[in-house]
A and B are shown apart, each in its own frame.
Chain A
């Protein structure tokens, strides 16, 4: 190393060493704080080990796995129609959306395609579960920042969305409604009109959140410029969904993926925000709920008539092969890699869930922030524990 001989280099090292000595004298002992696994802010069992200097975070490490339920392994001993029961429980706030990519992967392997009506209804339920999921985020972000009121509004209006999902599927949280080759059932009578009313409610809720939360000076002071993720760093960590769109990356699988659903036949817009901070992530999600309302409305107006189930055998045997299908789920990109050996059960299922990647950026992102910002950044990344641990 010739650089060590360089006098400037030596002076630099000497300077660093003297700095270090001064710092040792005034340094206080650090503190290790376990945020979680039981903690009000992690809504689930995520544990973040933060090393603190005063209130400043020196290092942060997320510890996952407290809720691991082994769905990938369990899928190997379930028949294909049974797997949807499991994957419902991955992202439990928008559960119908979990079924869609798996069913699409199985359909691709079996080379069947759902009839148009089924695909339109699928899209409607897919977007409704996005609304049910993200609406709760819009309220919950307030709670994490200390304002309790928004979350009550969120739960109040989410209830109506869940009612609509229940009316079709029979399940509020775990619909288990998607079938290989179509849907279990058709829509109930009067559902389309009712759903339009609910969409109006959700739009009013979005306006309310804009007044109550986004416009609030304290909210802006707490989120603007906090937890900034540059686009390249975000992409390097594999972020997806609103988290990466808030960093200005115009990438949405509903538009760019082109599988199975009917988003390409509808008129809608992908929202992005250039800032990449917590506020941007909140703002993008707020706009996406509105956009989802528009999408559902268009779907409701355009549902074609016809059967909701294609012709598939009674006992489903998937031919050997492998398929990977990913869709833009409420939390980000969710993909299923399904390997079949021609059996009743999948040979291997690999689930790529969005929150696992979204949370992996936290050690980079949390370093140098303050404890209150740890919470607001985690909240703005919006993960669901089931989606991390599977």
Chain B
């Protein structure tokens, strides 16, 4: 895509980021949110949001409006600065993650050669935010939640990275755009009819990635950090109003963005078979295609969320260190060998 006016790189990136956030992410977020809420309601044999807007479609806005009106309470003994900053740290990690996900051959926010590396690096910033929230709240429940979160997120960072490793080996690049291209132009045993979405060759990696994402999101069955029946809501306990909303948005947005990452890495991203991947059409269709795939992955994630009870902290660590990490290491070894052989 060429612009009529020559723009500096930072200007281009800035425009992409702002336009992308406003025009794509907000509606997409609302859509995904509505879909998830309706889906979860139907799973639980209830109607879900019905009043705000047609078919409850404006529920997200209604909730934002509600939370904005609430008083912003900070506990007297809290570490005020850290307490205030924590939700923003979590949110920053979420939004930095969006940047690396391409929505078309030219529709990207930033195109860096170490894209996936950057994504995994910024995703772990949220741990700091959660730990800050847990510690600064000066509440026992928050402290326990924060510490649980730290232990859990550190443990599950590893399988997450290792699961992505297989994809990187197969695509031969860390650049997310190139990973999509590798899937679009790839072949399955010499047949290139549908490209080669890595879910076929990296199915184990996909499964591990989903489990690890579930744990990173602190969702059931891995929601010990917020376990509402045990430690009230963990690190969120003392938050109200806007700051609570930021955590809340952060949680759902991260779910959506990790789904987008999974869709990009394993399901072929913005590409659908049948059209030449360099076709300009994808710049328009790409976001919609990606959104469809995101909804698919998000459906899986939330299906697990609303079906399973939660693990205990020690059982969670056992799962990470004794099952997921050995499996993902084996996956890397096998992928490496096959890469050399073929």
Binding site for B on A (CB under 8 A): 31, 33, 39-41, 55, 142-149, 152-153, 156, 212-213, 216, 218-219, 221-222, 370-375
Contacts and interface: CB of A to CB of B under 8 A. Distances in A.
A55 B311 contact: no
Contact of A222 (B44, B144, B232, B312): B312
Given A222-B311, A370-B314, A373-B312, A149 B228 contact: no
B231 to A, nearest CB: 7
26 contacts: A31-B140, A33-B140, A33-B141, A39-B232, A40-B228, A41-B229, A55-B313, A142-B309, A143-B229, A146-B220, A146-B229, A147-B306, A148-B220, A148-B306, A149-B43, A152-B46, A153-B44, A156-B45, A212-B307, A218-B308, A218-B310, A221-B311, A221-B312, A222-B310, A222-B312, A371-B231
Contact of A146 (B140, B221, B232): B221
B229 A152 contact: no
A374 B224 CA distance: 14
Contacts of A370: 312-314
A223 B98 CA distance: 40
Interface of A is mostly: helix
Contacts, number: 79
Contacts of A216: 307-309
Given A31-B140, A39-B232, A149 B310 contact: no
Given A149-B44, A371-B230, A55 B144 contact: yes
Contacts of A221: 311-312, 315
B232 A40 contact: yes
Given A153-B45, A372-B230, A219 B309 contact: yes
Contacts of B140: 31, 33
Interface string B39-50: 000011110000
B220 A40 contact: no
Contacts of B232: 39-40
Given A55-B144, A219-B309, A372-B313, A144 B44 contact: no
A146 B144 contact: no
Contacts of A222: 309-312, 315
Given A144-B229, A370-B314, A372-B312, 16 more contacts: A55-B144, A145-B229, A145-B309, A146-B220, A146-B227, A146-B310, A147-B310, A149-B44, A212-B307, A218-B311, A219-B309, A221-B311, A221-B312, A222-B310, A373-B312, A374-B230
A224 B318 CA distance: 17
A375 B144 CA distance: 15
B238 interface: no
A129 to B, nearest CB: 23
Contact of A149 (B223, B231, B307): B307
Given A39-B232, A373-B312, A152 B44 contact: yes
Nearest to B46: A152
Interface in B214-248: 220-221, 223-224, 227-232
A142 B224 CA distance: 15
Contacts of A146: 220-221, 223, 227, 229, 308-310
B44 A148 contact: yes
A212 to B, nearest CB: 7
Contacts of B44: 148-149, 152-153
Nearest to B221: A218
B148 to A, nearest CB: 8
Which of A33, A149, A153, A370 has its CB near the most chain B CB atoms (within 10 A)? A149
A200 B314 CA distance: 40
A41 B307 contact: no
Given A149-B307, A219-B309, A375 B43 contact: no
Contacts of B43: 149
Which of A146, A371, A372, A375 has its CB near the most chain B CB atoms (within 10 A)? A146
A31 B140 CA distance: 8
Interface string B109-145: 0000000000000000000000000000000110010
A147 B224 contact: no
A33 B144 CA distance: 11
A373 B140 CA distance: 18
A221 B221 CA distance: 12
Given A31-B140, A218-B311, A221-B311, A149 B306 contact: yes
Nearest to A219: B309
Nearest to B43: A149
Which of B224, B306, B310, B315 has its CB near the most chain A CB atoms (within 10 A)? B310
A321 to B, nearest CB: 47
Given A149-B43, A149-B44, A375 B310 contact: no
A243 to B, nearest CB: 20
A372 B230 CA distance: 6
A36 to B, nearest CB: 11
A28 to B, nearest CB: 12
B309 to A, nearest CB: 4
A356 B106 CA distance: 68
Sort A-B residue pairs by CB-CB distance and give the 5 closest, nearest first.
Answer: A146-B310, A145-B309, A152-B44, A147-B309, A41-B229
Contacts of A372: 224, 227, 230, 310, 312-313
Contacts of A144: 229
B47 to A, nearest CB: 11
B221 to A, nearest CB: 5
A41 B306 contact: no
Contacts of B228: 40
A371 B312 CA distance: 9
